[in-house]
């Protein structure tokens, strides 16, 4: 994959936290908050979540608690630190600040916050004698190329200088691939599970990449839809990912797994139907073809998040095989449920947040593109 293409793919998959500076070094604060965990009950697991307070972490924490496991958290105390006042939270920075974890023992570690290989190596090394199982949340960005069908054995991205720690649109994927490698080296591959999600969506998503579509639909009027209704699109509902991660923990599963809805099961037309069904908005879709999008500089980048033009050389980003995870029990809910719950969550947000979509086409730009499209048609 050429450099420009990789940058664009990473740009579209990279979560908001890194871009928002979530990895800036902070001083470690070796403090311990919260109550002592319950003694272990029969069959229940002691789970340590590295990064349990962002977008996907809280869903995992709640699912694990719902199933009767005990959960402890490790993070810097910057993100949603009020979320779980009753859980033990070890406060520290992955950047040389793991000391607060020195005395603990866990059955499973869920690593949600690994972007830098050195951080993952340090935690996997330190926890190798303190935990039995390490689950690393990676990304499909870890793959080298999206120009042909992908499964877990497809080649991974590489980076020339493996000491690079700056997470950018370009380095995110190769660094994730290196993080996976470091986890296996330090913890032992037979005790490590690697999950590679595609676009994670649903309630709480701070990127608005999927959310843009139902929220924009709710606004009504003429709405630009890119490509064709047949264009494939692939997502994973954060709650399905949380269920699967908990299954992986309970069953002590190891190996690599793409966590995606089945390839070919969802299209842009399906997304449109979901958006219309859950918003009941008076919205007129205007499908605009790929050629027009290209000519107007709208076929790449983040103006149409999660849409991947089938004509582009990273078309298979929307058709990743999830068969291996399904064979281990991954189930995915109807996409309409994701749309419905995303809108319900959106409506609970304060206006300063809900008035400011973080992804998708800006209204003025949409108007301009629609006008250009119409003048070309007439
Ligand atoms: N969102 C997607 O579509 C997507 C797709 C594929 C893969 N992923 C992967 O999913 C994982 C989680 O994504 P997310 O969106 O839930 O992340 P997020 O919202 O940014 O949450 C990050 C969590 O990690 C903690 N954290 C961050 N930096 C830390 C540090 N240096 N030391 C200690 N704790 C730290 C944060 O708490 P503090 O700020 O308090 O430290 C927070 O609890 C990531 O590994 C990402 O690569 C996401």
**pLDDT bracket for residue 28 (50, 70, 90):** very low
pLDDT (average), residues 280-291: 95
pLDDT (average), residues 314-328: 97
So what's the pLDDT on residue 261?
A: 98
24 lines ligand 1 (CB under 6 A): no
Query: Any idea what the CATH number is for the domain that residue 368 is in?
Result: 3.90.25
Q: Which domain holds residue 146?
A: 3-202+237-259
230 Cα–ligand 1 center, Å: 33
- Residue whose CA lies nearest to ligand 1 atom number 2: 200
240 Cα–ligand 1 center, Å: 17
Over residues 177-211, the pLDDT tens digits come to 999 999 999 999 999 999 999 999 999 999 999 99
Query: Any idea what the CATH number is for the domain that residue 254 is in?
Result: 3.40.50.720
Q: Are residues 295 and 342 in the same domain?
A: yes
Q: Is residue 326 part of a domain?
A: no
18 Cα–ligand 1 center, Å: 8
So what's the pLDDT on residue 11?
A: 55
pLDDT (average), residues 331-335: 98
Q: Is residue 182 part of a domain?
A: yes
Mean pLDDT estimate for the chain: 91
DSSP letter string over 150-161? --TTSPBP--S-
- Where b means 16+ CB within 10 Å and e means fewer, 120-140 reads bbbbbebbbeebbbbbbbbbb
CA distance linking residue 101 with residue 287, whole number of Å = 53
Q: Is residue 352 part of a domain?
A: yes
From the CA of 209, give the closest atom in ligand 1: 3
So what's the pLDDT on residue 75?
A: 97
Place of tokens 């789970």: 47
So what's the pLDDT on residue 27?
A: 29
112 Cα–ligand 1 center, Å: 6
Most ligand 1 atoms within 8 A of CB, residue of 9, 14, 17, 358 to mutate? 17
Q: How many domains does the chain have?
A: 2
Q: Which residues contact 136 (CB under 8 A, 6 or more apart)?
A: 111, 114, 120, 179, 180, 183, 192, 193, 194, 195
| Residue 251 reports pLDDT greater than 70 | yes
Cα dihedral 235/239/244/247 (nearest 10): 180
From the CA of 76, give the closest atom in ligand 1: 41
Q: Is residue 329 part of a domain?
A: no
pLDDT (average), residues 317-324: 98
Q: Are residues 58 and 139 in the same domain?
A: yes
57 lines ligand 1 (CB under 6 A): yes
Higher pLDDT, 10 or 217: 217
pLDDT (average), residues 225-253: 98
pLDDT (average), residues 255-283: 97
DSSP letter string over 288-353? E-HHHHHHTT-SSSSSSTT---TTSTTGGGG----HHHHHTT-----HHHHHHHHHHHHTTS-HHH
Q: Are residues 168 and 252 in the same domain?
A: yes
Place of tokens 């109807």: 334
- Residue whose CA lies nearest to ligand 1 atom number 19: 54
**pLDDT bracket for residue 336 (50, 70, 90):** very high
Q: Is residue 153 part of a domain?
A: yes
């Amino acid at each position: 994959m050429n450099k420009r293409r990789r940058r664009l793919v990473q740009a579209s998959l990279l979560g908001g936290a890194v871009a928002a500076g979530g990895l800036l070094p902070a001083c470690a604060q070796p403090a311990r908050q919260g109550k002592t965990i319950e003694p272990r009950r029969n069959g229940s697991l002691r789970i340590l979540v590295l990064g349990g307070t962002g977008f996907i972490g809280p869903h995992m924490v709640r699912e694990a608690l719902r199933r009767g496991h005990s959960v402890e958290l490790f993070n810097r105390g910057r993100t949603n630190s009020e979320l779980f006042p009753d859980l033990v939270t070890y406060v520290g920075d992955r950047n040389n600040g793991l000391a607060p974890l020195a005395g603990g023992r866990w059955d499973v570690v869920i690593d949600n916050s690994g972007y830098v290989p050195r951080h993952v190596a340090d935690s996997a090394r330190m926890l190798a004698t303190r935990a039995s199982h390490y689950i690393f949340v990676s990304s499909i960005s870890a793959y080298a190329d999206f120009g042909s069908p992908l499964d877990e054995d497809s080649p991974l991205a590489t980076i020339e200088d493996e000491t690079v720690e700056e997470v950018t649109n370009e380095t995110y994927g190769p660094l994730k691939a290196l993080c996976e490698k470091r986890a296996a080296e330090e913890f032992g591959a037979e005790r490590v599970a690697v999950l590679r999600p595609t676009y994670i969506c649903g309630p709480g998503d701070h990127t608005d990449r999927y959310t843009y579509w139902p929220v924009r639909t709710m606004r009504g009027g003429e709405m630009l839809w890119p490509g064709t209704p047949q264009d494939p699109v692939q997502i994973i509902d954060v709650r399905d990912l949380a269920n699967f991660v908990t299954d992986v923990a309970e069953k002590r599963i190891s190996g690599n797994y793409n966590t995606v809805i089945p390839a070919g099961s969802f299209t842009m037309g399906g997304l449109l139907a979901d958006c219309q069904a859950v918003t009941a908005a008076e919205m007129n879709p205007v499908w605009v073809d790929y050629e027009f999008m290209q000519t107007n500089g709208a076929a790449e980048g983040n103006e149409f998040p999660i849409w991947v033009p089938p004509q582009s050389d990273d078309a298979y980003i929307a058709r990743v095989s999830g068969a291996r995870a399904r064979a281990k029990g991954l189930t995915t809910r109807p996409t309409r449920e994701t749309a419905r719950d995303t809108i319900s969550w959106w409506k609970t947000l304060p206006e300063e947040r809900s008035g400011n979509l973080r992804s998708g086409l800006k209204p003025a730009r949409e108007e301009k593109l629609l006008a250009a499209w119409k003048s070309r048609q007439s």
